[in-house]
C-alpha cells in the first residue's frame, strides 16, 4: 500500500502531465516531500505552512 508521499508524488506527476508543465517547477515540492518526517499529509502541510517558498510556480502564473 502506498503512503501519503507516494500518493502526493503521483498527484504532482498527474498535474505535470495534464497541464504540460515542467518538472522543474515542482522540484522544491518533491524535495520537501522526500525529506519530510511527517507521518501524513496533514502533518506535512503544517510543516510547510510556515515556509515562504512553498507554492510552486506554473507557466500560467507567468503569463498573467
Cell readout for 62 is 507567468
Quick one: pLDDT at residue 8?
94
The residue ranges of every structural domain in the chain are: 4-63
Q: Which residue has the cell 516531500?
A: 33
Neighbours of 34 (CB within 10 A): 9
Per-residue pLDDT of 17-53, as tens digits, reads 999 888 888 898 999 999 999 999 999 988 888 766 5
Dist. CA 59–CA 21, nearest whole Å: 7
Q: Are 26 and 56 spatial neighbours (Cβ–Cβ below 8 Å)? A: yes
Quick one: pLDDT at residue 47?
87
Q: Of 21, 20, 18, 43, which Cα lies nearest the Cα of 32? A: 43
Per-residue pLDDT of 5-15, as tens digits, reads 999 999 999 99
Amino acid at each position: 500500500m502506498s503512503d501519503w508521499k507516494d500518493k502526493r508524488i503521483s498527484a504532482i506527476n498527474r498535474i505535470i502531465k495534464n497541464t504540460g508543465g515542467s518538472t522543474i517547477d515542482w522540484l522544491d515540492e518533491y524535495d520537501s516531500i522526500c525529506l519530510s518526517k511527517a507521518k501524513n499529509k496533514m502533518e506535512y502541510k503544517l510543516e510547510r505552512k510556515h515556509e515562504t517558498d512553498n507554492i510552486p510556480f506554473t507557466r500560467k502564473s507567468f503569463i498573467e
